[in-house]
Amino acid sequence: MQIPYVGRSKMELPTPALLLDLDLAERNIDRLAERFRDRDCQLRPHAKTHKLPYLAHYQVKAGAIGITCAKLEDAIGFIHSGIENVLIAHQIVDPNKIRMAVGLSNLAHLTLCVDSQQNAETISRIAEQHGVRQPVLVEVDIGLGRSGVVPGPQTLDFVRQAEKLPGIRINGLMGYEGALFNMSDEEKEMECRRRLERLVGTRALLEENSIEVRVVSSGGSNTLDLTGLMPNVTDVQPGSYVTMDTWNTRHNMPFEQAVTVLATVVSRARPGFAITDAGLKALSIDHGMPEIIGPPGLSIESLNEEHGRILLNESAEELKVGERIEFAPSHGCTTIPLFGHYWAIRRDRVVARMDMISRSASY
């Protein structure tokens, strides 16, 4: 189907519209790939943020060993798009989902994560029924307090029991040292190192007990340099760096804002403010209000479901109904899946409409 907006200015798109500047996204990917080019640690970028095959393939071509997903639906979509190495960094416990995951073994190298013997036993049983050994990483709780086995001897005991299961193959460990944003650089470095030492220390304990550890996976965009230089961490899982958002920009990530949301002024009923057609169903606020890129002289007062209330200073009073306002999301990971597709642009011209793997809370 021919897309009627290709070749036209982004300002002509129907709104609310999710814009992806391909030049900036590719530059972000290339910049991080170059930074990791000569490191022992490799990139296994998280695709939960962008949900787009084009970007995943670009990441792999730039040197990533594969991608990370949060949900099975995303993993299925990326595998069917041709991505050959996928880690699901989330426990898959529903037997029906496990059957779907194990059934992908003839298409790609798919790795699952476990932190309970019950889950490991279920995966093993279903994998045996399919005649395969399912690769898994054991998630270790290194300080986030969300999921994962206690590091050290408890993880050793867990792995010893899981290794006895005929349908799974323990490939290594995964731990996330996240939630370190609101710290000074010195505090963040100290806490990040403290958490990662639990992970690599657990690796050492396993190896001392003759258990091979091929993979130690960790890291996010905010800690990728700290984690990426930690000895015995094999790969990192940054996600937000590709598209960026104001939250990560405020925390000094050196990448460019590649995703924005375009809205239209639909009402100027009263002086001093304008109403847009982009509200909470187009812009998430879990990390605060988005920022207005342009035009100048505007600020956000509030967002309702379908509307944004925009305050105007005196210089912006000439803003008219039908004019466009462009927003930088505060949190890309929760804004992007509010849409089903991107409008891809280069130099402010539309070049394609790109559909995502999934949207919202995929299974």
Domain positions in the chain: 10-16+258-355, 22-241
Residue 5's SS3 state is coil
Q: Given this model, what pLDDT does residue 306 score?
A: 97
Distance, in Å, from the CA atom of 244 to the CA atom of 25, rounded to the nearest integer, reads 9
- Please tell me the number of Cα atoms within 13 Å of 131 on its side-chain side: 1
Place of tokens 């030049």: 23
Distance, in Å, from the CA atom of 345 to the CA atom of 357, rounded to the nearest integer, reads 19
Q: How many residues does the chain have?
A: 363
Place of tokens 């609310």: 16
Please check whether residue 239 is in contact with residue 49, taking contact to mean a CB–CB distance below 8 angstroms: yes
Please check whether residue 291 is in contact with residue 258, taking contact to mean a CB–CB distance below 8 angstroms: no
Distance, in Å, from the CA atom of 210 to the CA atom of 304, rounded to the nearest integer, reads 58
Task: Enumerate residues 6+ apart whose C-beta is below 8 A from 95.
Answer: 122, 126
Place of tokens 């912006």: 316
Distance, in Å, from the CA atom of 334 to the CA atom of 131, rounded to the nearest integer, reads 38
Distance, in Å, from the CA atom of 239 to the CA atom of 29, rounded to the nearest integer, reads 10
Q: What is the DSSP string of 137-203?
A: EEEB-SSS-SS-BPTTHHHHHHHHHHTT-TTEEEEEEE-------SS-HHHHHHHHHHHHHHHHHHH
Q: Given this model, what pLDDT does residue 359 score?
A: 80
**Chain centroid to CA 339: how far?**
15
Place of tokens 């190298």: 109
Please state the pTM of the whole predicted model: 0.95
Q: Given this model, what pLDDT does residue 130 score?
A: 95
Tens of pLDDT along the chain (363 residues)? 567 899 999 999 999 999 999 999 999 999 999 999 999 999 999 999 999 999 999 999 999 999 999 999 999 999 999 999 999 999 999 999 999 999 998 999 999 999 999 999 999 999 999 999 999 999 999 998 899 999 999 999 999 999 999 999 999 999 998 777 778 888 988 999 999 999 999 999 999 999 999 999 998 888 888 999 999 999 999 999 999 999 999 988 899 999 999 999 999 999 999 999 999 999 999 999 999 999 999 999 999 999 999 999 988 999 999 999 999 999 999 999 999 999 999 999 999 999 999 887 677
Q: What is the DSSP string of 247-261?
A: HHHHTT------EEE
CATH number of the domain located at residue range(s) 10-16+258-355 in this protein: 2.40.37.20
Q: Given this model, what pLDDT does residue 2 score?
A: 62
Please check whether residue 52 is in contact with residue 77, taking contact to mean a CB–CB distance below 8 angstroms: no
Distance, in Å, from the CA atom of 102 to the CA atom of 26, rounded to the nearest integer, reads 32
Which superfamily is assigned to 22-241 in CATH? Alanine racemase (3.20.20.10)
Q: Given this model, what pLDDT does residue 188 score?
A: 87
Distance, in Å, from the CA atom of 291 to the CA atom of 330, rounded to the nearest integer, reads 7
